[in-house]
Structure formats: C-alpha cells, structure tokens
Structure 1
Amino acid sequence: MRRSPLFSGLIYMILGVLFTYFAIQNVNNQGWGFFSYLLVLLATLDFGSGLRMVNLHFKIKKNLKK
C-alpha cells in the first residue's frame, strides 16, 4: 500500500511532537542526560523529515497541474 507524502509527513510531525514532549518531561524529571539528548535528536530528525515530505507532496501536486 502506498501512502501519500502528505500522510507520511504528518505522521513524522506527530512523532516529532511526541518525542519533544517526552524530552521535556525527561528534562524536568531527571535533567539533561544522554536520553534527553537522544529524544531531542529524534524529534529534530522527525520534524525535518516531516517538513521534507510535506514539501515533496506540494511539489508533486504542483507538477501534476502542469
């Protein structure tokens, strides 16, 4: 089953929000440690991938209109 880049991008964004929430909770409870940095890294990668996928969706949509 093929998913649209928009759907995949939204899933990545949701994961980015989730990892950000977990990172904030972890920092509040235990301070900055390895796991906190790992969660922030994962959130950053997910947000970047999500933005890239949403951008790809709009580029494909624009090219299909031509």
Structure 2
Amino acid sequence: MKLSPRTFGIVYFLLGILFTYVAILSADETIWNFLTLLLAFFATLDFGVSIRMFIIHFKIKKQKKKK
C-alpha cells in the first residue's frame, strides 16, 4: 500500500503539535533548557516537512488534472 504525501503531511503536522505540546509542558521556570529547545527544534522540523508534503500533494494533484 502506497501512502500519499497528504497522509504524511497530516502525520508530520500532528507530530509537530505533539512536540510543541510536550515542549510547553517541559518548560518549568525557563524555556532555555536543553529539552525544551530540542523538542521545539523537532517540532519546527516536523512542521516544515508537513508543509513540503502538502505542497507535493497539491503539485501531484494539479499534474493529474492536466492529463
């Protein structure tokens, strides 16, 4: 079974939300601790990948309409 880029985009977006939520919970007295910054970094990467997956999905959809 082949998964579409839209499915991957949704999964990565949900992971980005999860990492953001955990980063907020891990910020005790300051946000400048290692764990919070690491989780925020992973959330940023996941949001970036999800945006790329959605762009790829719409490009594929547009090309299929042309044919």
Q: Give the TM bin, normalised by the shorter chain.
A: over 0.9
- Which letter maps to 1:34? F
Shift in Å, 1:2: 1.2
Deviations 1:19-62, CA, capped at 9 Å, x for gaps: 000001111x2532111110000000000000100110000000
Q: Report the structure, 1 or 2, having the larger helix content.
A: 1
Indicate the residue corresponding to 2:36 in structure 1: 36
Larger displacement relative to structure 2 (40-49 or 30-39)? 30-39
C-alpha distance in 2, partners of 1:25/1:14?
17
Q: What do you get for the CA RMSD once the two structures are aligned?
A: 0.9
Mind listing any 5+ residue stretches in structure 2 that lack a counterpart?
A: none
Structure 1 residue ranges, 4+ long, deviating more than 2 angstroms after superposition: 29-32
What TM-score comes out, normalization by structure 1 length?
A: 0.93
Indicate the residue corresponding to 2:49 in structure 1: 49
% identical aligned pairs: 51
Q: Paired residues, what number?
A: 65
Mind listing any 5+ residue stretches in structure 1 that lack a counterpart?
A: none
Indicate the residue corresponding to 2:2 in structure 1: 2
